[in-house]
Structure 1
Amino acid sequence: MPGKRIAVVDRDRCNPKKCGLECIKYCPEVRMGVEDTIKLVDSTLIIDEKLCTGCGICVKKCPFGAISVVNLPAPVEGEEVHRYGVNGFTLFRLPIVRPSKVLGLVGPNGVGKTTSISILSGRIKPNLGIVDREVSWDEILERFRGSELHTYLKKLIENEIRVVLKPERIDKIPEVVRGRVSDVLRRVDERGSYDEVNSILELENIRDRDLRELSGGELQKVAIAAAYLREGDLYIFDEPTNYLDVFQRMKAAKLLRELQNKNKSLIVVEHDLAILDYLSDYVHILYGEPGVYGVVSHPHPTREGINIFLDGYLPDDNVRFRDEAISFLQRSVPSEPSSEVLISYSDMVKHLNGFSLHVSGAQIYVGEVVVAVGPNGIGKTTFIRLLAGELQPDEGSINATLKISYKPQYVRPSYDGTVESLLRKVAEQNYSSPYFRVEVIRRLGIEHLLDKYLDELSGGELQKVAIAACLGREADIYLIDEPSAFLDVEARFSVAKAIRRRIKGERKAVIVVEHDILSIETYSDRIMIFRGIPGKEGYASAPKDPREGLNEFLMDVDITFRRDPDTGRPRVNKPGSKLDQMARASGRYYP
């Protein structure tokens, strides 16, 4: 049931100097003499929510998509926890922290996960939605009186809880922390656990390197280790699996579970549902309008909560927050590839900076998506670069001359211009096609980014634009390296659909490098497995059936999965559990 209307202006998109303020000129209320409905104050657009009728004319007139007028679900009225100024983003409710439990937060980007953990860590003082005066802690505690949050917030205010945070933006760490890995970690080791962390996360090979020399995955491991080594009561891990391969994700998950065994509370913000499911004792779902408002659901058991999120309907609030459910493809029989070969290559060898890659010869067929899996530093990106023509094999050959579109692993804003000018440049005539506008720009949700410059984008936004640019180019084969990094769950599935639609009915193929198990299943027609010694030598198999390939791969990772009976999604079995033992005995690591 709809409740109170709120009007929001996105300050990052609003540009009063360029638009001519048509939103004000065409507002019916302003024309009728109610001047305070929409007004400009100190170059900031203000919309009075009490006077606004929600007609939507200003939304249509704004050329930058900066104005949103939405109706909130009725059950959350009066439950505002924090608001960023007049017409600013509003968060409703807070997640509940429980002693010695792991809380998982799941939801799209931009609906309040970062705000929630900032409040729970004490970095932001909640204002209860009141922006015209400072709210006292007594008022805040009174709001939560009688709830589990009251006890937690009272202890936080009285400094009886120490919070340790592993940030999302690990790329910023070398800018504020200097030194060798071992020196940095020993400096923050308050619990005498350096050797334990060094062993579980396998940091031996990088302990003598400077932080500025580390890759994204290596920085992520150091950030996780640093948080683990500090003494705290609540540990918050914000997107701990970015840049990590499946092997490293499971090791990190094992380390986080060790904290719970030491009676610590944890909050995990994670978009890899398999890892979130494996780690969490309970979850909160966050939903809303990104950048406008966010609502935190009541707590749910992990399986139930993730299934509710995938279904898109929250019974507690009687709200459908997504138009369609996210479903999983279950392959009862192997998929049959097209009989038409698009590209073939012989056995290949490439030596590069002390690393050797050995590739088994194979063929890639028209209309298929091949997913490359394996640990970091094993040659997946080198293989992609060989097919892209950036590198030449030392032995063997590629038996085709094809036009290739390549999205690299690390996306950096090297283009000096807007998103729209970049996409027009790379997509050319494809930019104006109905396919590109609907299946790429709209599906990836980048319509509102078109007027932004690339250096203004977040990591997730930049990833979407890079994928759109790759798919926009006219090519025979698309090589996409780690498309799910920085993306939320919904965006990952949108990307998978966009990729599949790009090659449907055309003489094209896609090769994807991916670490998210659920995404691997969604993408793949066939799977290539990379094995070996990271940084020294890698061996790439020929593509094989996804069920067979994932089964082999999970044997290497040494984890087993089961299938959720309601949604069909793969779920990690707890090591040593009855289901884990049965899966290992049958040899079916992947259901």
Structure 2
Amino acid sequence: MSLRIAVVDRERCQPKKCGQECLKYCPVVRTGGEAIVIEEKAIISEELCQGCGICVKKCPFGAITIVGLPSQLEGHEVHRYGKNGFVLYNLPIPRKGHVVGILGPNGTGKSTALKILSGQLIPNLGKEKADWDEVLDRFQGTELFDYLKSLADGGVRVSVKPQYIEGIPKVYRGKAIDLLSKVDERGELDEYIGKLNLTNAVNRDIKDLSGGELQRVAIAACLLRDADFYFLDEITSYLDIYQRIESAKVVREVAEKRPVMIVEHDLAILDMLADYVHISYGEPAVYGVITNAKGVRVGINQYLRGHLAEENIRIREKEIEFEIFQPSEGVQEDILIEYPAFRKSFENFTLEAEKGDFRVGEVVGVLGPNATGKSTFVKVLAGVLEDDEKKVDLDVKVSYKPQYVKGDISMPVISFLRSINPMVESSYYRTEYIKPLQLEKILEKNIDELSGGELQRVAIAACLLRDADFYLLDEPSAHLDVEQRTEVARILKRFAMNNSKTVLVVDHDIYLVDMLSDRVMVFEGEPGKRGVARKPASLRDGMNRFLRNLDITFRRDEETKRPRINKPESRLDREQKTAGEYYYYVREN
């Protein structure tokens, strides 16, 4: 026996336009039953539905999803967003003295779980409404009972860092120092300004801060409150790897005294930061299941393999695989661009670039601290800016996806993409971009209605749909989950190889750069004052240089071959530094 759930996308369901095809062909309705009722939107009875899937296929807007789940989940519903809405099963458990992570695809209930545990949302147990007494009865005898009892009694103070920090300037106006002073309940403001390197940001207006500065202000604002539990939803967006590690250290310090729960898609940072992880799986926007806690290494490895051993459930058809120094079979020796050494000066910043080249069919990853000239370098190559001596003159077409993607266009996604490439609806582009980037269900939505992750995926598609020779994508991983980041890496490598195009990817996610890069460029210098763009180097040499600057070493996980950060001053960390192998190390027999 299986538990059947039916979900109707309220935004996409349009009974007045579709001719109510779902009603006409439903075998239960045709025999007099009311498995489907049309009011303003379609309503599906999960009790009467036979699960034949005819309505799913007949709906022209793809608004209906019917899923069969294991019967063991019945009675474990934690929250449902109305009739035929998304349903969440199970909850993660905060643990005193530990950092607990939640890992899983977007749309499978991670943020809903945080809202419940932070008291922003009272769970309805899958019904129309439930009160705290019913909720406590459900969780009686579980590890969560004491926490939920305290939450219901108002005895838990929580502090939350939201996922999308872009909304902060819309709700707060003023200087960052004023915001942080208001929330500094622990009297550690000066300490946090130093640890998170906010000295140059705190005296500026919130609306004038960069994405990285705003993220660190949001982290500080969350951790400065005197709370019993801290919930942080994605701490790494817009931060470079240096800032990610420093932010992780700050969170770890707080967790020594008070429990912390995080949602994070940068697996290197999650691995470093968390003690335990709960995995969320399911079908985005349809249902989500949160597993019991697992050790962080075991949990991440099971997630990458796509098989949860304790639950005996396969959550993905294919494993997410890592290769050691991936072969570059599709890369040609033909040079697309040769650029000279150049300098670009501003009033308070100077970029110096070494002479280098980019080859046809390769993907080059770009790593380095924020504010060391990566975007300036790109703009000089693209002809948007001129170098000081006007030496750079490249005759190539460039397609550019900026770091900060704006969603201020009131136009359907499909119309926007069609304006870039009229052939976007062809079977080729649907197979190569639309389906892999999960854009099918948002094609009719307006750009200004998209979430951060949806907007990012549309921007990536738009960049690749343009006719160009050289494609630059600045931080394409922002707001994407692990599955989506892996798919983006696959798409970019396939795009470069099959179309003999050159792709440059600026990103701070070590896993993403590791998966997609044929060569690596490293930017060095003093952020905000001076930057040096090193020429593209082999993946091994480039990563070694980058990690040496960072003073951290990576090892390869024995099972999955994924990069893992070594504990500073551990035996392996010292051994690799002595050998000069910061990226990974193979002992000689």
TM-score if structure 1 supplies the norm length? 0.96
Matched residue, 1:165: 160
The code of the aligned residue for 1:100 comes to G
| Alignment match, 1:384 | 378
CA shift, 1:548, in A, is 1.1
Counterpart code for 2:58: K
Residues 287 and 296 of structure 1 are in contact (CA less than 8 Å); yes or no, is this contact kept in structure 2? Answer: yes
In the alignment, what sits opposite 2:558?
565
Asked if the contact 2:331–2:497 (Cα under 8 Å) also holds between the matched residues in 1, the reply is no
Which position in structure 2 is the counterpart of 1:109? 106
The one of 368, 372, 392 aligned to 1:374: 368
Structure 1 segment 155-234 matched on structure 2, within 5 A? 155-234=150-229
Please report how far the alpha carbon of residue 353 of structure 1 lies from its aligned counterpart in structure 2 after TM superposition.
5.0
Distance 1:394 1:17 in 2: 61
User: Residue 187 and residue 168 in structure 1: after superposition, are their counterparts in 2 closer, same or farther (change >3 A)?
Assistant: same
Q: Is the 8 A contact 1:73 1:319 kept in 2?
A: no
Q: Amino acid of the residue matched to residue 322 of structure 1?
A: R
- SS of equivalent residue, structure 1 residue 288: strand
Amino acid at match of 1:346: P
Q: Which residue of 2 aligns with 1:11?
A: 10
Q: Shift of the alpha carbon at 1:92?
A: 0.4
Give the equivalent residue in structure 2 for 1:90.
Answer: 87
- The separation in 2 between residues aligned to 1:248 and 1:136, in whole angstroms, is 42
Give me the whole-angstrom Cα distance separating, in 2, the residues matched to 1:501 and 1:92.
37
Aligned-partner residue type, residue 459 of structure 1:
G
Tell me what 1:311 maps to.
Answer: 305
Contact kept in structure 1, 2:383 and 2:394, CA below 8 Å = no
Amino acid at match of 2:282: G
d(CA) in 1 for partners of 2:20, 2:119:
39
Could you tell me how far apart the structure 1 residues matched to 2:259 and 2:79 are? 23
Measure how far apart 1:577 and its partner are: 2.6
Compared CA separation, residues 459 and 334, structure 1 to 2 (3 A): closer
Equivalent residue number for residue 486 of structure 1: 479
Decide whether the 8 Å contact of 1:298 with 1:316 is kept in 2: no
Q: Which residue of 2 aligns with 1:301?
A: 295
Q: Residues 337, 86 of structure 1: CA spacing in aligned structure 2 closer, same or farther, 3 A cutoff?
A: closer
Identity of aligned residues (%): 52
Map of 1:32 onto structure 2: 31
**Does the 8 A contact of 2:174 with 2:206 survive in 1?**
yes
CA distance in 2: counterparts of 1:138 and 1:318, whole angstroms: 33
Asked if structure 1 preserves the Cα contact closer than 8 Å seen for 2:397 and 2:470, the reply is yes
**Of the candidates 485, 491, 495, which is equivalent to residue 502 of structure 1?**
495
In structure 2, C-alpha distance between the alignment counterparts of 1:571 and 1:318, rounded to whole Å:
26
Q: How does 1:153-552 map to 2 (within 5 A)?
A: 153-261=148-256, 263-331=257-325, 338-398=332-392, 400-429=394-423, 431-552=424-545
Asked if the contact 1:367/1:507 (under 8 Å) is kept, the reply is yes
Match of residue 580 from structure 2: 587
Structure 2 alignment gaps of length 5 or more: 585-589
In structure 2, give the amino acid aligned to 1:364: F
Contact 1:346 1:361 in 2 (8 A): yes
User: What is the identity, as a one-letter code, of the residue corresponding to 1:473?
Assistant: R
Amino acid at match of 1:199: G
Label 1:333 to 1:480 Cα distance change in 2 as closer, same or farther (>3 A). closer
Runs of 5+ unmatched residues, structure 1: none
Does the aligned pair in 2 maintain the 1:344–1:399 contact within 8 Å?
Answer: no
Equivalent residues of 1:75, 1:317 under 8 A apart:
no
Partner of 1:49: 46
Query: How far did 1:339 drift?
Result: 1.6
Contact 1:73–1:317, Cα closer than 8 Å, also in 2: no
Aligned mates of 1:28, 1:336 — CA distance in 2: 51
Name the SS of the counterpart of 2:537 in structure 1.
coil
| Superposition CA RMSD, Å | 1.7
CA contact (8 A) 2:3 2:73 kept: no
**Alpha carbons 1:439, 1:501 under 8 Å: kept:** no
Matched, 1:143 2:105: no
The 1:589/1:250 distance shift into structure 2, 3 A limit, reads: same
Between 182-191 and 274-283, the greater mean CA deviation after superposition: 182-191
Scaled by the length of structure 2, the TM-score of the pair is 0.96
Identify if the C-alpha distance between structure 1 residues 235 and 120 changes in structure 2 by more than 3 Å, giving closer, same or farther. Answer: same
Distance in 2 between residues matched to 1:530 and 1:481, nearest whole Å: 14
Instruction: Judge conservation of contact 1:178–1:211 (CA < 8 Å) in 2.
Output: yes
